[in-house]
């Protein structure tokens, strides 16, 4: 690592990011300002990305449309509704991706309603 070779002490922590790829630096303290100088032994803190936080998709089959949407939103997802039934009853038949699968927090889950 270039920082340790330059004589700095590197402290790292990790955090989730939907924008910064896993393994890349999210933040540095002190920041990488071009006019800053440092001395050997100074501590540089880096926050390393874990990538997006993955969450298990809950099973909402049989729930009312509103309850199913609330369950998915509470789990951290955005919800898109597919209601292609000719006679809508307002009950969930499943999701895409399916219940039990892992998806990135904040991603869109399609809720299938009859």
Assigned CATH topology for domain 2-49: Trypsin Inhibitor V; Chain A (3.30.10)
Supply 19's token pair.
Answer: 């924008």
Q: Provide the 3-class DSSP secondary structure of residue 97.
A: coil
- Which single residue is written with the structure tokens 């070779």? 5
Bridge partners of 25? Answer: 48
Question: Would you state the pLDDT for residue 2?
Answer: 83
Per-residue pLDDT of the chain (114 residues; tens, 9 = 90+): 688 888 899 999 999 998 999 999 999 998 765 556 778 888 999 999 999 999 999 999 999 999 999 999 999 999 999 987 666 788 999 999 999 999 999 999 999 999
Are 2-49 and 54-113 equal in CATH topology?
A: yes
Question: What are the domain boundaries of the chain?
Answer: 2-49, 54-113
Helix (H) or strand (E) holding 43: strand 43-49
Looking only at the bridges linking them, the beta strands covering 54-56 and 102-104 are antiparallel
Question: Would you state the pLDDT for residue 31?
Answer: 75
Question: Would you state the pLDDT for residue 3?
Answer: 83
Domain 54-113: which CATH number of 3.40.50.2000, 3.30.70.3400, 3.30.10.20, 3.40.50.2300:
3.30.10.20
Q: What is this structure's pTM?
A: 0.73
Whether a cis peptide bond, with omega within 30° of 0, leads into 97 is yes
């Amino acid at each position: 690592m270039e920082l340790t070779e330059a004589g700095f002490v590197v402290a790292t922590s990790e955090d989730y990011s939907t924008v910064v790829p896993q393994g890349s630096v999210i933040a540095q303290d002190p920041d990488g300002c071009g006019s800053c100088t440092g001395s050997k032994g100074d501590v540089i803190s880096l926050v390393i990305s874990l990538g997006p936080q993955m969450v298990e998709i809950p099973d909402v089959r049989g729930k009312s449309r509103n309850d199913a949407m609330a369950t998915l939103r509470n789990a951290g997802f955005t919800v898109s509704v597919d209601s292609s039934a000719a006679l809508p009853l307002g009950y969930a038949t499943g999701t895409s991706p399916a219940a039990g699968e892992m998806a990135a927090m904040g991603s869109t889950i399609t809720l299938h309603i009859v």
